[in-house]
Structure formats: structure tokens, C-alpha cells
Amino acid sequence: MLDPVDLTGYFIGLCFAVFVVFWAVTAFSTKRTVKRRGWWRVSFLVILLGYFLLRMGLLHVHWVNGLVWHRTLFIGFVADAIALVGLAVMLWARVTLGRNWSADVALKEGHELVTSGPYRWVRHPIYSGLLLMALGWAVWRGRYSGFWGLAVLLLLFSIKARAEEQLMIQNFGDAYRS
């Protein structure tokens, strides 16, 4: 019989699985790309590789992988709720973007500036949602490494977001700024 605390971790895994499947299915229904920015990828990959190499090299160092708190059913439910909110925000944002979405920093044919849905309140709701899901995972794990990973993810998204913002300002100007 599975421990209920472990089941809360499976729920977070299910949230990530829904995210991956939804993204894979909807990726084929986007507009054609007319302009792409790729320089952010180098920074992205270097930071990600550095994080994994550092983490693997420091696998037994307490401040990297040590226990922050023990898992409890309450913590598991809190982590599930955080991950579920993150998933909902990401799905809402992806549906709102519709065919304008791209995994890359790109401008689509007939690209429209989306200011409805979660984009009314948050400039990068997909990143915000994924960060919430990662926070849910970190809370559930209760280890420093989960929070270090969250910090790395925040850094990576800030690099990509900066590139996206430059492209959007180039193409939409003051409409994007406001």
C-alpha cells in the first residue's frame, strides 16, 4: 500500500505530465514563425549544464541536498495545491496565446499582442505557472536542491523573458510596454 504522503508527489508528477502532453499536442497548431531570436539558448544551456554538473559533484554536500523539512501529509497537500495552481495558470495562458505561442523566442506570421486572460495581470504567466509547479515540487521534496533548482529555473526564465521582451518591444512598441 502506498503512503498518502507519497501519493501527493504522484499528483505533482501528474501535473507535470499534463503540462508535457498538452504542450506536445498543441505545439502543432501554431502559426508559422517569421522571426526568431536564438542567442538566449547558449546562456540557457550553459547555466543548465553548470547546475547539473555542480549538483552531481556536490551530491552529498548538506547545503546542496540537505533536508529542509520532513514530508507530512499537510505539506504534501500544500505542494499539490501550489502545483495545481501553476498548471492551471500555464494552461490558461497557453490557451489564451492560441496560435501565437512558440517554445522559441519568435514572432509568428500575423502575430497578435495578447493582453487578455492571465496576460492582463502577468507579463509571463506560462513561466510563472511553471515556477509555481517547480515550487510545489520543491516544497514536496523538502530538500535544498529543489529550491536551488527553482532558483536556476528563475534565472533561465529571466534570460528568455528578456529576449522575448526585446522582440515584442521591437514589433509592438508602446502597446507592449503598456
CATH code for the domain of 22: 1.20.120.1630
Total domains present in the chain = 1
Whole-prediction pTM = 0.86
Return per-residue pLDDT of the chain as tens, 178 residues. 678 888 888 999 999 999 999 988 988 888 888 877 766 677 777 877 877 777 776 667 777 778 899 999 999 999 999 999 999 999 999 999 988 888 888 888 888 889 899 999 998 999 999 999 999 999 999 999 889 889 988 988 998 898 889 888 988 888 888 8
DSSP label at residue 143: B
Using CA atoms, how far apart are residues 14 and 4, in angstroms rounded to an integer?
15
User: Measuring CA to CA, how many Å separate 3 from each of 11, 78, 84, 108?
Assistant: 13, 16, 20, 47
Cell representation of residue 127 = 513561466
Domain with 33 in it:
4-177
Confirm if 154 and 131 have CB atoms less than 8 A apart.
yes
